[in-house]
Amino acid sequence: MQLAGPVKLLASALAAAVLVALAVKPELRAAITAQFNDPASLPSLPEDSRVHYEPAARACAKAAAAALPGAVAKIAAEHGRPFARPPIVGVFADFATYARANGLGDDNVAGVSRAGRAMLSPVMCGQEKSRLASVLAHELSHVHFFGWRPRGAARPPQWFTEGLAVLASDGGAAETVSDADAAQAIRDGYGVILDDARWMNFRAIPFAAEPPCGAGCNPMSFRQRMAYRQVALFIGWLRARDPDAFSRLMRALEGGAAFGPSFEAAFNGSPRQRWTDFAKSLQASR
């Protein structure tokens, strides 16, 4: 009974600290919110229990289920091994629900992956439904990669994981920028700069010079897709140049190894050094 006062004070202090942390760190708040909005708690399709959906998105969920077997096979082949565990797909009809579930608190992204779930925005069921299969495959690339990587291991730079996902999905999340467009942009001095920063803020993706967007262009989506397509080209070039080295890099990263040393061991140099070689190869192929 004598400890009731101190224990109560400690509990109050801890609760206050949590509230402050949630207020100061929106990412933490979004991640905690996502834990209580797991798409796996939604109904699943009788024909494919991996696909969960909001009732209003049932037709869209069926479209995702139709695309899922091919996407799973494609990503497993591109990554060089099966999925660590069956993926879960969440299909949403409501933007607010999607934002609560995706771990970002943001409804302005077409797809998100987290904790073995590939989640599709309501736009995939409406005005951008033509992208559903490619975005699903893109998110499954992330599910596959992080499904093997130990929890708590430092994340590789986002340029690598996004470029890998675009490459493995044949252009998912970079659909409106072609390989030829991305290569020409690099030749013209608008190449992306590889760094370790997160690329969630697409306005902040670093380029050697700002790529021209053109009339009627959405600058934010254009920058994202240009950057994603360029790094996909780079990763494809690395893989074609030395498939065995690329496979060693993938297995090392999936095992939890640090990105920088693993990349240098596989390709005998830093990403920026190999990017310089890559850019030179594009100039030579004019």
Contacts by 206-211, CB closer than 8 A, 24 or more apart: 211/185
What's the whole-number mean pLDDT along residues 5-12? Answer: 58
Q: Which of 23-32, 154-163, 211-220 has the lowest mean pLDDT?
A: 23-32
In the structure, what pLDDT confidence band is assigned to residue 122 with cuts at 50, 70 and 90? very high
For 120, list phi and psi in degrees, rounded to 5: -110, 130
In the structure, what pLDDT confidence band is assigned to residue 202 with cuts at 50, 70 and 90? confident
Specify whether the CB–CB gap between 131 and 175 falls below 8 A: yes
pLDDT of residue 32: 83
- Cα–Cα distance, 280 to 268 (Å, whole number): 17
In the structure, what pLDDT confidence band is assigned to residue 110 with cuts at 50, 70 and 90? very high
More confident residue, 31 or 233: 233
Q: How far is CA 230 from CA 60, 155, 284, in A?
A: 30, 20, 17
> Does residue 139 have a pLDDT over 50?
yes
> Does residue 254 have a pLDDT over 50?
yes
Strand order in the sheet with 44-45: 44-45, 48-53, 88-91, 117-120, 111-114
3-state helix/strand/coil string of 228-260: HHHHHHHHHHHHHHCHHHHHHHHHHHHCCCCHH
Fill in the amino acid letter for 257.
Answer: A
Q: How far is CA 286 from CA 173, 182, 229, 240, 279, in A?
A: 26, 13, 18, 19, 11
Handedness of CA 240, 245, 246, 247 (dihedral sign): positive
pLDDT of residue 1: 47
**Which tokens go with 136?**
């699903």
Task: Provide the 10 A C-beta neighbour count for residue 4.
Answer: 8
> Does residue 215 have a pLDDT over 90?
no
**Which tokens go with 248?**
């060693």
Q: Is 16 helix (H, G, I), strand (E, B) or coil?
A: helix
> Does residue 165 have a pLDDT over 80?
yes
pLDDT of residue 285: 80
Chain segment 14-52, per-residue pLDDT in tens: 544 444 444 556 677 767 887 788 999 999 999 999 999
- Cα–Cα distance, 228 to 271 (Å, whole number): 15
Q: Which of 106-110, 125-129, 275-279 has the lowest mean pLDDT?
A: 106-110
**Which tokens go with 117?**
């779930």
pLDDT of residue 20: 46
3-state helix/strand/coil string of 61-118: HHHHHHHHHHHHHHHHHHHCCCCCCCCEEEECCCHHHHHHHCCCCCCCCCEEEECCEE
pLDDT of residue 159: 97
